[in-house]
Structure formats: C-alpha cells, structure tokens
C-alpha cells in the first residue's frame, strides 16, 4: 500500500445517503471521495473514468441494478473493489452480489467505525461481511446441494427471465399452461423460493441460466 488516500466512489439513489457517507469520510485523510452516482449506469461509467479503489454500492438502483453494475465494475482492468452497502440481506441478494464479484457486504445500520474499517479492508483486498451475512454464507456452504433443474426447467426459467407469461411459454414450448405451472412449481421448490422474480434472481446468481445474447433466447445455460 502507498501513502495515497483510498479513492472511493459512492453509489446510492438517495442523495441524503450519499451526502451522509461523504460527510462521514471527509475527516479521514486516508480516504478520499472522488465521485458519486445515483444509478447503476452512472456507477459503471464513473468507475471506468475515475478509477476508484473502492466502490460503495447500493443494490436497489434505478435502471441497472447494483448487482449487475457490480459485475461490470469488477470486470474493469484494473478492477475496483466493490463494497455493498444496503438495507437488504436476503439470501438471493447476497448470492447475486457475491457472484457479481463484491468483496464485501455491509448493511446500512453498520456502525460508522465498521464501515470505515470495511473500506480500508476492501482496499487491501480483504473480504468484509456483516456478521449476519457471514452466517448466511456459511449456512449456504453447508447446505446440501439442491436438486438440479432439468434442461426444460432451465428453459422455462430463461423464458420467464425474458418477460414471458405462462401463456407465452406454453405456446413457445407447445404445452398446456397447466404444464408450465407445474414446471414453475417444481422450480420454486428446487430453488427454495416463493415467486418468479426470486427464482430468476437465484438462478442467475447460481449461473443456472444464461441470458447473454450468445446463448440465444430461452435457451438453458450451463449446469
């Protein structure tokens, strides 16, 4: 590490949050706020131009969400460290953020001292986790592997992710709507989720479906 301050980009759609974090960091000579962004697209653009050491990232953002923005930012060269700071700690949110490359995951009720130390740790490449998040990650690691989705179930889920209704899926696959509902019920059970949005989020985090243009519309991804 050099004596240069840690360059920080703050990403949050609420100005009062950005202002509060900036005010908290300003008195510390080893940390410098170099920019702010209110949405995911701006975050990616500023990360590419400002080259911060650490990006403090909210997850729920207008347009491009925080997890997707994180994936794009961590793909930069050199890659900034992304430290998630959010009010959400669901398993799906944690999985998406960590799968996207976030080095840390803190909640917005984190004490000021812990956030400061989290920024410093992230800049050094050390993982930073709120205790409740760490506990969930450990639990997930020790949970038996879920029953894998079949190729057809992954295809159905990829179509759902693309915005297709049950009727659209039935017509696309040449089956009855009741059959589509059966597929979805099985998918929810296997992924341990309660709705379509959570199913898509969890499947993307686990790389069970691939929505890239190269994969083709509605085609199952690897796994």
Q: Model confidence over 160-202: pLDDT tens digits?
A: 988 899 999 999 999 999 999 999 999 998 888 888 888 888 8
pLDDT attached to residue 136 = 67
Q: Radius of gyration over alpha carbons of the chain, in Å?
A: 19
Angle between helices 177-191 and 196-205 (to 10 degrees): 50
Residue limits of CATH 3.40.50.2300 in the chain: 6-141
Instruction: Identify which of 202, 87, 214 has the alpha carbon closest to the alpha carbon of residue 153.
Output: 202
Q: What is the SS3 assignment for 59?
A: coil
Q: Residue 48's pLDDT is what?
A: 97
- Within the chain, which residue ranges are assigned CATH 1.10.10.10? 151-215
Residues whose CB is less than 8 angstroms from the CB of residue 96 and which lie 6 or more positions away in sequence, other chains included? 59, 67, 201, 204, 205
Categorize the per-residue pLDDT at 206 as very low, low, confident or very high, splitting at 50, 70 and 90: confident
pLDDT tens per residue across span 78-122: 999 999 999 988 877 888 888 888 999 999 999 999 999 999 999
Instruction: Please give the pLDDT value at position 217.
Output: 44
Share of the chain above pLDDT 70, in %: 87
CATH of domain 6-141: 3.40.50.2300
Answer whether residue 52 shows pLDDT above 70.
yes
Which pLDDT belongs to residue 222?
36
User: Please, what's the b/e burial string for 131-150 (b: 16 or more CB within 10 A of its CB; e: otherwise)?
Assistant: eebeebbeeeeeeeeeeebe
Question: What pLDDT sits at residue 215?
Answer: 41
Which of 2-6, 176-180, 206-210 is least confident?
Answer: 206-210
Q: Looking at 151-222, list the stretches that DSSP marks H as alpha helix, in order from N- to C-terminal side.
A: 151-161, 166-173, 177-191, 196-205
| pLDDT (0 to 100) of residue 140 | 59
| 144 pLDDT higher than 60 | no
CB–CB of 202/95 below 8 Å? yes
Mean residue pLDDT across the chain: 86
Q: What is the pLDDT of residue 201?
A: 80
- If one compares 108 and 214, the residue with the highest pLDDT of the two is 108
- Fold of the 151-215 domain: Arc Repressor Mutant, subunit A (1.10.10)
pLDDT of residue 214: 44
Band of residue 14 on the pLDDT scale cut at 50, 70, 90: very high
């Amino acid at each position: 590490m050099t004596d240069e301050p840690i360059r920080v980009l703050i990403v949050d759609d609420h100005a009062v949050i950005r202002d509060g974090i900036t005010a908290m960091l300003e008195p510390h000579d080893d940390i410098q706020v170099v920019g702010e962004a209110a949405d995911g697209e701006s975050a990616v653009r500023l990360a590419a131009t400002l080259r911060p050491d650490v990006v403090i990232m909210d997850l729920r953002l207008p347009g491009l969400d925080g997890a997707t923005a994180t994936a794009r930012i961590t793909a930069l060269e050199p890659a900034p460290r992304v430290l998630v700071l959010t009010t959400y700690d669901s398993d799906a949110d944690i999985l998406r953020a960590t799968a996207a490359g976030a080095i840390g995951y803190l909640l917005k009720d984190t004490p000021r001292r812990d956030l400061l130390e989290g920024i410093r740790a992230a800049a050094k490449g050390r993982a930073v986790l709120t205790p409740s998040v760490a506990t969930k990650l450990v639990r997930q690691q020790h949970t038996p592997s879920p029953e894998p989705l079949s190729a057809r179930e992954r295809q159905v889920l990829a179509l759902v992710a693309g915005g297709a209704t049950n009727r659209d899926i039935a017509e696309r696959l040449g089956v009855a709507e009741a059959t589509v509902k059966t597929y979805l019920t099985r998918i929810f059970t296997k992924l341990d989720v309660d709705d379509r949005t959570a199913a898509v989020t969890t499947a993307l985090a686990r790389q069970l479906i691939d929505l890239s243009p190269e994969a083709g519309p509605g085609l199952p991804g690897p796994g």
